Chains A and B, each alone.
Chain A
Amino acid sequence: MSFLAYLEASAFSEWLLISMLGFPTLIALHSVGMAVAVGLSLMVTLQLNQMLTGLSARLIPKFLNIAVWGFVLNLITGIALFVSRGQEYITSAIFLVKMLLVIVSALILFWLRRHLLRTKLTTDVLVASSVARGMSVVFAATWVGAVVSGRLIAYLSDMY
């Protein structure tokens, strides 16, 4: 906790909370990263499960690359936002649930990208393994859970 207190007392944290633009800008960029990462992940889940057909399978890793960039933006802005309120967030169960869901989603995102890059394509139609399809459904659910729990932090962090 003393490290979190040290971070909260840092000049960056002070600037973030006092400046007119710091906190709003970070939270806006956090939302942009979320929309890109989660949005493309959901579309890839639809593709892998044959609910969105007609696009070459070679595009899926490319879409996942962009989702990774969205996640990186989310991670950087998320860490910066955490610095200003770390002591409050770390004791909030709903925040910890969000973090767990984000970690699971990100691990599946990286695994899926690697798995699909290694899958040899003989045609443009990807026949994804049942593991890949199953994992994509899991990460669609965990991403949605992360978005919902992220919204609930503002309402429930005092209670849980």
Chain B
Amino acid sequence: MSSSTFAWIADTPISAWVNSSGTIWPTLESIHFVSLCVLVGSLLIIDLRLIGFYRERCASTVQVLIRLSLAAFVVNFLTGALFFAGNSPKYLNNSAFELKLILIVLAGMNAIFYRVRLSNLVDTNEVTRSSIGVGYLSLFLWTGVIICGRMITFYAR
């Protein structure tokens, strides 16, 4: 994305709205962090099943947790997009932000792999090498997403 695009985003009404009051930014941050906790909590329970921390048939529970994590992700994405609109220069050439986006895409691909190849596994007591790999990769990627998210402020130019 070029610097002119970032400048254009900074001129949009959304950007103006985010910065129009001193309460909007802290409110968005609070929502972003609470939904992050919901996202991590629900994913942790799924990932712990995949790596074999517990072995139970829990397909219906996993379905509920997936819906919960998706809802939390949507809230995170929307609030994140508003941060971006409100202070786009902060994200220009910001390696922490770029790495965070890459990790989110990889986490999404990992989730799709689970959906396509492993979603039946949680209806059994089994743990496979693939499920262990998917579970640990998910834990690693989301930990990376949190760390990079916190680093954005420190890498802003």
> A-side interface residues toward B, CB under 8 Å?
23-24, 27-29, 31-32, 34-36, 38-43, 52-56, 59, 62-63, 66, 143-144, 147-148, 150-152, 154-156
Tally of chain B residues near chain A (CB < 8 A) = 32
* Residue pair B30, A39 in contact (C-beta under 8 Å): no
* Residue pair B26, A62 in contact (C-beta under 8 Å): no
Assess whether B109 is interfacial by the CB under 8 Å rule.
Answer: no
Q: Which of B30, B41, B143 has the most CB of A within 10 A?
A: B41
B15-45: which have CB < 8 Å to A?
22, 25-26, 29-30, 33-34, 36-42, 44-45
- Known contacts A52-B61, A52-B64, A52-B65, A147 near B34 by CB under 8 Å: yes
* CB-contact partner of B58 in A40, A54, A144, under 8 A: A54
> B-side interface residues toward A, CB under 8 Å?
22, 25-26, 29-30, 33-34, 36-42, 44-45, 48, 53-54, 56, 58, 60-61, 64-65, 143, 146-147, 149-151, 154
Residues of A within 8 A of B61 (CB): 52-55
